[in-house]
Amino acid sequence: MREAFHEQLDSIFSDLAEICHEVETSVRLATQALLNGDVEVAEQVIAADDKIDVARERVEDTAFSLLSLQQPVAGDLRVVVSALRMVSELERMGDLSVHVAKIARLRVPDIAVPEEAQPTMARMGEVAEDMVRRVAAVITDRDVDGAIEIGRDDEEMDQLRRGSFAQLLGDDWQHGVEAAVDIALLGRYYERIADHAVSVANRVIFVVTGQFPVASESA
């Protein structure tokens, strides 16, 4: 009985890693749609969100079943409850990718990001995608050291967001209010993807060690 229980726990983590891969694809394609003004790719991201939602429901159903039928305690309970929190974070990351894709779609046939802002926005997309990719590995391997590194590397995203704000608030910004609002929202979406990635990584640390990193105890 306990062996079957732990197999189900492992399956939950496999599903979480698979959702990460789906989110990684969504982030990459949303950024592609944004920078290229590609409405078909944007629609692909938006449509794929249903797959992430279904996967989230599967994880939740398995977790709730384990809670009700197995009544786990101590470390096992920590794993199940953490999985429920992680899958919610991952779904939100997918939703944020959809928000990026919707801004791209809204501005077609134009490109939402002015040329001078594209390098910063492209880098934000790259950082977000890389963090999601690494979260998948952290979940699969329950890698505490890798999870800690994700938390440290979030600083680059914060710096990019600050740089983006400085750019759109500068005296030489000539692209109007609409573009400024788009850039502000896009920066926030990418920053939140990174924040959720850090949160998931911290929950992996909690699963393995029973403790959150000091800076994340309030998470």
Domain assignment present for 215? no
Position 198 pLDDT exceeds 90: yes
What total number of domains does the chain contain? 1
Domain assignment present for 219? no
Which whole number is the average pLDDT over 86-110? Answer: 97
Phi, psi of 37 (to 5 degrees): 65, 40
Q: 């779904």: which residue's tokens?
A: 91
Position 219 pLDDT exceeds 60: no
The pLDDT, as a whole number, for residue 217 is 41
Q: At what angle do helices 176-209 and 74-107 cross, to 10 degrees?
A: 170
The pTM (predicted TM-score) of the whole model is: 0.92
Domain range for 23:
2-210
Among 66-70, 91-95, 140-144, 165-169, the range with the most confident prediction by mean pLDDT is: 91-95
pLDDT (tens digit, 9 = 90+) per residue, 188-197? 999 999 999 9
Task: Check which CATH number belongs to the domain holding 106 and give it.
Answer: 1.20.58.220
SS3 sequence, 175-216? Answer: CHHHHHHHHHHHHHHHHHHHHHHHHHHHHHHHHHHCCCCHHH
The residue among 116, 99, 128 whose CA lies nearest residue 174 is 116
pLDDT (tens digit, 9 = 90+) per residue, 23-72? 999 999 999 999 999 999 999 999 999 999 999 999 999 998 888 877 76
Q: Which residue has the higher pLDDT, 130 or 215?
A: 130
The pLDDT, as a whole number, for residue 210 is 87
Token readout for 93 is: 């990351």
The residue among 15, 28, 95 whose CA lies nearest residue 55 is 15
The pLDDT, as a whole number, for residue 15 is 94
Instruction: Round to whole Å and give the CA distance between 213 and 219.
Output: 10
Domain assignment present for 138? yes
Token readout for 74 is: 């101590």
By residue count, the chain amounts to 219
The pLDDT, as a whole number, for residue 114 is 94
Domain assignment present for 206? yes
Q: Band the pLDDT of 214: cuts 50, 70, 90.
A: low
pLDDT (tens digit, 9 = 90+) per residue, 149-183? 998 888 999 999 999 999 888 888 999 999 999 99
Q: Band the pLDDT of 213: cuts 50, 70, 90.
A: confident
Instruction: Round to whole Å and give the CA distance between 117 and 140.
Output: 35
Instruction: Round to whole Å and give the CA distance between 44 and 53.
Output: 15
Instruction: Round to whole Å and give the CA distance between 16 and 62.
Output: 12
What's the mean per-residue pLDDT of the chain? 91
The distance in angstroms from the start CA to the end CA of the chain is 33
Position 216 pLDDT exceeds 60: no
Residue 219 DSSP SS3: coil
